[in-house]
Amino acid sequence: MVSADKLKERNQRLEEEDKTYIWHPFTQMKDWIEEQPLIIEKGKGCYLIDIYGNRYLDGVSSIWVNIHGHRRPEIDRAISDQLKKISHSTLLGLSSTPAIRLGRKLVEIAPKGLKKVFYSDNGSTAVEIGLKIALQYWQQKGEKFKGKTKFISFTNAYHGDTLGSVSVGGIDLFHQIFEPLLFPTFKAEYPYCYRCSQGKGYPLCDLACLEQAREMIKAHHEEIAALIIEPLVQGAAGMIVSPPDFLRRLREICTENNILMIADEVATGFGRTGKMFACEHEGVSPDIMAVAKGITGGYLPLAATLTTDEIYQGFLGEYREKKTFFHGHSYTGNSLSCAAALASLEIFVKEKVLEKLADKIVFLTERLKKFNQLSRVGEVRQKGFMVGIELVRDKVTRQEYEFEEKIGIRVTGEARKRGLIIRPLGNVIVLMPPLSISLRELGEVVDITYESIKSITEQ
Ligand SMILES: Cc1ncc(COP(=O)(O)O)c(C=O)c1O
């Protein structure tokens, strides 16, 4: 038994050493070092437990990754069983049992036509790989297609933090400063209907954004290798949900104009929108699909880029032809990660996770209605278990809070005091709990969020 004094000393040392050694991602460290860091030591189900033993609901699934809760015995066991065999061996020139098994499963559950799995270890690299495969595919397809070296991406898009994925991003706050390092893309407008650039909103607009994208693609298809999109929900932009049919019609435009469609399902994949993949809502099969985050149930880093057989065939040839895809990371297809992913996918089947989720989504939709009564809530957006609550200074004019007001940070700070961990995206409060959350816990997530918004914005 460790004495209370020893524990206190240990905890204080951890807090000091965090500030001495760690540079946290997406964090203003000047603010961080002025506050007491919250250090997580354990997890159980939908709760995170800090070094003092305080429990917090994990309202954003540890940055959108956790699916079945923390310490799931089946996933714990799968990892420790794999650990007894081997933790990692390379996929460069070798294969591994869990990577093969998982590859098969991924193809089985993926949208129709995706047949090959290229592994990596995070969402950004899965996207980079998709972009590189698309480009190389056209370069090898024949003289006629050599001009297809550009991409079409969307305003407000987020595809990760590596330079290729930043190039196809569209969030100025994160991306603009790196402009000198980025490759140019064609930028189409993503339908952010609450702040419609036409001043109309759906359905009055008649999907004007789509027509604009169509014109852009028609005019430049000979230069465009692929279009990249976050299907149905732009996550990091603030959970912006596209209007019905937008994705399906975009798919048709891509096909008509002979450009590939890359679906970035890094955030939306593995049940988050209510179906295994967001593309399924509109019966869309992309040519390339990037997945990561929830793939291992939120346990270990793993990502995959899936492609059609046609794309894969385009890389086959004599060695001397140099059609090989010269890309690969050290931890590509890590065995522990693949074992975790297999166990996670088994839970989906065994526990009918998606069927059960349907009721929870209805419950969530119902409980979110009351947010519209709050004077500073402009819009509540939801697709499945992805929720964005946009706070505004003025509900009528939709005037935004100023960046300096840190309204999102203040609300989520308040939620933390009440036992809920959530993280904002600017002025948007995000909820994205694990799919395994109980109705009671989900109700608590919603209630704490409501009270926190009220207390901060209606003072
Ligand atoms: C749609 C999308 N793509 C890519 C990424 C990048 O994933 P990672 O953080 O694993 O690199 C994210 C991360 O939030 C994402 O939301």
pLDDT tens across 59-77, in order? 999 999 999 999 999 999 9
Cα separation of 276 and 310, whole Å? Answer: 24
Shortest-distance Cα residue to atom 7 of ligand 1: 123
Q: Of 317, 350, 383, at which residue does a domain stop?
A: 350
- The ligand 1 atom at the shortest distance from the C-alpha of residue 268 is 1
113 with 232, same domain?
yes
Low-confidence residues of the chain: pLDDT under 50: none
Strand order in the sheet with 40-44: 40-44, 47-50, 55-58, 420-421
Task: Tell how far the Cα of 276 is from the centroid of ligand 1, in angstroms.
Answer: 17
Please state whether the peptide bond connecting residue 433 to the residue before it is cis, i.e. omega within 30 degrees of 0.
no
Task: Tell how far the Cα of 292 is from the centroid of ligand 1, in angstroms.
Answer: 8
* 119 phi, psi to nearest 5 deg: -85, 150
pLDDT of residue 199: 86
Question: Who lines ligand 1 at CB under 6 A?
Answer: 122-124, 127, 158-160, 230, 235-236, 264, 266-267, 292
Q: Is 57 helix (H, G, I), strand (E, B) or coil?
A: strand
Nearest to 226 by CA among 287, 171, 178, 167: 287
Shortest-distance Cα residue to atom 2 of ligand 1: 159
Would you say residue 246 lies in a domain? yes
Do the Cβ atoms of 171 and 230 come closer than 8 Å? Answer: no
Shortest-distance Cα residue to atom 16 of ligand 1: 267
Would you say residue 217 lies in a domain? yes
| Tokens 């090898």 found at | 140
Shortest-distance Cα residue to atom 4 of ligand 1: 159
pLDDT of residue 204: 87
115 with 154, same domain?
yes
Tokens standing for residue 372: 């519209």
Would you say residue 13 lies in a domain? no
pLDDT of residue 107: 98
Cα separation of 306 and 110, whole Å? Answer: 8
Q: Of 320, 350, 380, at which residue does a domain stop?
A: 350
At 279, which CATH number? 3.40.640.10
223 with 312, same domain?
yes
Tokens standing for residue 7: 């524990």
pLDDT of residue 63: 98
Q: Is 203 helix (H, G, I), strand (E, B) or coil?
A: coil
- The ligand 1 atom at the shortest distance from the C-alpha of residue 303 is 10
Q: Is 120 helix (H, G, I), strand (E, B) or coil?
A: strand
Which domain range does residue 389 map to? 38-68+353-457
Task: Tell how far the Cα of 293 is from the centroid of ligand 1, in angstroms.
Answer: 7
- The ligand 1 atom at the shortest distance from the C-alpha of residue 235 is 16
131 with 200, same domain?
yes
pLDDT of residue 160: 98
327 with 452, same domain?
no
pLDDT of residue 79: 98
Task: Tell how far the Cα of 123 is from the centroid of ligand 1, in angstroms.
Answer: 5
Q: Of 350, 370, 396, at which residue does a domain stop?
A: 350
